[in-house]
């Protein structure tokens, strides 16, 4: 059995993280020796109880082969800490992932990465600012790292993609269970020009306990972390805690004092995070001599016009303003059924006249 096969096998046991693996390696020297060890020997290692020992002992070689075959089928590369392509920034955190499943291609320039995270239920202001900062940082040559969740994360990835820059999505599930499911297309787009990363086996479901582990990878890949919006118990604050533990700079965008999505960012600023109002606030703090400006793909501007002659379309569009409106409210005010309204809204989005926000809310596009 190769070193890679042994590490992939150990990673299939979700109870074994990098800290337990380090203790096992100190005792058994190689990953292969760990898999060959008897349960009574495994239990002798601190933190390895009978349950984990039994899981290691009963690990099936067929399961490892199946995982490797599925990775090849999905065009996923598996990296270990010994691989030269394993991200430099991530390698130096206290508990780097045992293995990384990678779709896309990691590059040396990705060591100049900035994480952008925030609320899934973001405001239009938050979504806009996340995209603007991602676009501007990508323009300076930074790689944008985020978690591909709804809200701020997705806007951050899209901002980098719009500028033709690189972005890394760190997911909290396996590649067979992309979450949220509506971001499957976004994941494909990211992997074509950037990278999608997971430390979880390919069939792992997006379980709640996976996301804190995912968050430490977001901050671990980054030189600094920008929190755009965060509620009181937001996962973005967990990512900020990891960033501080890892010695990363933490930046926060201030928000309205009475907005629940601003509580977390305002608290971070009170605790010493760098208040950010423009790109220069980040660049000055990092003081990195990046001179590269990425080349954005020039896209022809389409002449998209609203069809004011279409009665139902004009009725729906007339209800949408720069203040978000719920789908149910549109249905109530137009007396149209939901499927019909959804079709109209899709047409308006394709014309870039309307933008969808989390929670089935809609707002007029600012483009």
- Consecutive 10-residue runs of the chain (367 residues): their mean pLDDT? 93 88 91 93 91 92 95 96 93 93 96 96 91 94 96 95 96 96 95 96 94 96 96 91 95 90 92 92 82 43 44 85 86 87 84 81 77
pLDDT attached to residue 223? 96
Pairwise CA distance, residues 19 & 13, whole Å:
13
- Whether omega before 180 lies within 30 degrees of 0, making that bond cis, reads yes
Pairwise CA distance, residues 331 & 42, whole Å:
61
Determine the 3-state secondary structure of 98 from DSSP.
Answer: coil
User: Which residues are registered as beta bridge partners of 326?
Assistant: 361
Pairwise CA distance, residues 127 & 119, whole Å:
9
pLDDT attached to residue 310? 55
pLDDT attached to residue 293? 43
**Which domains are seen in the chain, by residue range?**
3-73 (1.10.150), 103-286 (3.40.50.450), 311-364 (1.10.10.10)
pLDDT attached to residue 367? 52
pLDDT attached to residue 288? 74
Taking alpha carbons only, the member of 274, 247, 265, 234 closest to residue 149 is 234
Task: Tell me how crowded residue 339 is: count the other CB atoms within 10 A of its CB.
Answer: 8
How buried is 208 (Cβ within 10 angstroms: 0-12 exposed, 13-18 middle, 19+ buried)? exposed
pLDDT attached to residue 298? 39
pLDDT attached to residue 19? 87
Name 228's Cβ contacts closer than 8 Å, sequence gap at least 6.
Answer: 116, 117, 118, 119, 122, 126, 129, 130, 133, 152, 156, 236, 253, 265
pLDDT attached to residue 366? 63
Task: Record the pTM.
Answer: 0.78
Pairwise CA distance, residues 155 & 280, whole Å:
20
Taking alpha carbons only, the member of 260, 262, 237 closest to residue 250 is 237
Length of the chain: 367
- 8-state DSSP, 114: E
Taking alpha carbons only, the member of 175, 184, 183, 239 closest to residue 205 is 175
């Amino acid at each position: 059995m190769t070193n890679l096969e042994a590490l992939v096998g150990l990673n299939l046991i979700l109870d074994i993280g990098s800290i337990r693996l380090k203790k096992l390696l100190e005792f058994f020297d190689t990953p292969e020796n760990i898999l060959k060890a008897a349960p009574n020997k495994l239990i002798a290692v601190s933190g390895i109880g009978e349950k984990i020992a039994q899981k290691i002992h009963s690990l099936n070689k067929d399961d490892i082969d199946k995982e490797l075959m599925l990775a090849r089928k999905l065009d996923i590369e598996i990296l270990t800490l010994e691989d030269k392509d394993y991200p430099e920034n991530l390698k130096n955190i206290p508990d780097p992932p045992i293995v990384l499943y990678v779709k896309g291609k990691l590059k040396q320039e990705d060591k100049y990465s900035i994480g952008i995270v925030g609320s899934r239920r973001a405001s239009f202001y938050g979504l806009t600012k996340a995209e603007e900062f991602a676009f501007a940082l990508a323009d300076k040559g930074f790689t944008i790292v985020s978690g591909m969740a709804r809200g701020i994360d997705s806007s951050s990835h899209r901002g980098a993609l719009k500028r033709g820059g690189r972005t890394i999505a760190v997911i909290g599930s396996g590649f067979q269970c992309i979450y949220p499911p509506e971001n499957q297309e976004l994941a494909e787009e990211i992997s074509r020009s950037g990278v999608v990363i997971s430390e979880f086996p390919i069939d792992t479901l997006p379980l709640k306990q996976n996301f804190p582990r995912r968050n430490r990878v977001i901050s671990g890949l980054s030189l600094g972390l920008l929190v755009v919006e965060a509620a009181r118990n937001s996962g973005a604050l967990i990512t900020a805690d990891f960033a501080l533990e890892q010695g990363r700079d933490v930046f926060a965008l201030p928000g309205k004092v009475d907005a629940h999505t601003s509580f977390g960012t305002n608290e971070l600023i009170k605790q010493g995070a760098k208040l950010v109002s423009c790109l220069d606030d980040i660049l000055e703090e990092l003081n990195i001599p990046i001179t590269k400006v990425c080349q954005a793909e020039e896209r022809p501007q389409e002449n998209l016009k609203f069809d004011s002659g279409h009665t139902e379309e004009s009725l729906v569009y007339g209800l949408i303003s720069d203040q978000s409106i719920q789908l149910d409210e549109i249905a109530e005010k137009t007396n149209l059924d939901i499927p019909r309204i959804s079709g109209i809204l899709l047409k308006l989005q394709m014309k870039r006249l309307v933008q969808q926000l989390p929670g089935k809310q809609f707002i007029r596009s600012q483009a």
